[in-house]
Amino acid sequence: MNPNEEADPNDPEFAIPIFDMSLLTSGSHDQRSKIIHDLVKICQEWGFLIAINHGVPESLMNAMIDTCHGFFALPDEEKQEFKLGNDVLEMFKYGTSYNPATDKVLLWRDFFKVRVHPEFYSLYKPSCFSEMLMEFSKRSREVALEITRAISKSLGLEPNYIHDAMNMDRGLQMLAANYYPPCPQPEHAIGIPHHTDHGLVTLLIQNEMNGLHVEHNGKWLTVDGPTNCFFVNLADQMKILTNGKYKSVMHRATLNNKAARISIAIPHGPSVDTIIAPAPELMEKEGEPPKYLAMNYKEYIHLQRSEKIYMKYTFDHIRA
């Protein structure tokens, strides 16, 4: 893939799939069947969709963005109170780079991450943060679980298959907020380099500034969606579980020189002690051997973050 080749957003080949979640529950039988059928192609070819009519109030999504902006506006010395080590599984942390142990350049962003499930943690600044975070995390989790049920059905499995096999009742859920200030020379810097996510499915919202790029058919595409939508990308454990049938999408964050961008990613994964391997039911149905080695989710996270494979393709290290 040419790292700088961008897709024409007006080309029908690069029309990002819109996924109307209301049809999963309130649509007719034919509508429900069609959206599950369409989901197969979306997951195979894109690994990415824009979810609308998901049930989370726009006022809550906007308030969460405003609350995160309030944190980033705090004086530096107050934000430093939340600066911990480099373990991705920590309760919370604040920083200014992607992976300080391995980054060769300082990236153009501030961020914080909070673990909100199975245990709920929160920052204690700004004052309203904890209450807002709890409500938004709960509502976005409902969306993620509804999507995993739909994906299970699209694979010809029981609706709760992924939830149960991945122990999602105690699954890892994080909230990661990113603040990208205006950059004088955006072509010479990056917000977050290209990567795939390590979990099952990630939801993302943003303020009015675009900056998310996803890879599709060898080109980068700037994601632009309607108001009150979730950007949804499939992640590595979904690809492993489906034995490569469904795609873990490559994506990155780019910069602009006009205004600050805030994005909030909500990754959802298995429980950290779950051993993830291709689903036996799918391999039997497809008549294929496993393409990936079984691995503990926590070990996978640390593998992906390690200097040994930083900015490389994690799947190359777990092929069966």
Cβ atoms within 10 A of the Cβ of 52, count? 16
- With CA atoms as reference, report the closest residue to 268 among 193, 170, 185: 170
Question: Contact 286/245 with Cβ under 8 angstroms?
Answer: yes
Q: How distant, in Å, are the alpha carbons of 4, 131, 172, 205 from that of 231?
A: 22, 24, 19, 6
What pLDDT, on the 0 to 100 scale, is given for residue 312? 55
Residue 115: partners with Cβ closer than 8 Å, 6 or more residues away:
89, 90, 91, 92, 121, 172, 173, 174
**In the β-sheet with 251-253, what is the strand arrangement from edge to edge?**
192-195, 251-253, 212-216, 219-222
What does the pLDDT look like over 212-252, one tens digit per residue?
A: 999 999 999 999 999 999 999 999 999 999 999 999 999 99
**Full 3-state SS string of 138-203:** HHHHHHHHHHHHHHHHHCCCCCCHHHHHCCHHHCCEEEEEEEECCCCCHHHCCCEEEECCCCCEEE
Domain contains 299: yes
pLDDT interval class at 92 (50, 70, 90): confident
Domain contains 91: yes
Domain contains 8: no
Q: 271 exposed, middle or buried (CB, 10 Å; 0-12, 13-18, 19+)?
A: middle
Residue 79 token pair = 């934000």
What pLDDT, on the 0 to 100 scale, is given for residue 246? 98
Residue 80 token pair = 């430093």
Domain contains 136: yes
pLDDT interval class at 86 (50, 70, 90): low
Q: How many domains are contained in the chain?
A: 1
CATH code of the domain containing 196:
2.60.120.330
Q: How distant, in Å, are the alpha carbons of 121, 143, 152, 203 from that of 137?
A: 11, 10, 22, 11
166: containing domain: 19-317
C-alpha 101 chain-centroid distance: 22
Domain contains 282: yes
What does the pLDDT look like over 170-217, one tens digit per residue?
A: 999 999 999 998 888 887 788 888 889 999 999 999 999 988 999 999
What pLDDT, on the 0 to 100 scale, is given for residue 2? 47
What pLDDT, on the 0 to 100 scale, is given for residue 1? 46
Domain contains 6: no
What pLDDT, on the 0 to 100 scale, is given for residue 203? 98
pLDDT interval class at 274 (50, 70, 90): very high
Cβ atoms within 10 A of the Cβ of 222, count? 15
The average confidence (pLDDT) of the chain is: 89
Domain contains 303: yes
Domain contains 234: yes
> Quick one: what percent of the chain has pLDDT higher than 70?
91
What does the pLDDT look like over 95-146, one tens digit per residue?
A: 876 454 555 555 788 899 999 999 999 988 888 899 999 999 999 999 999 9
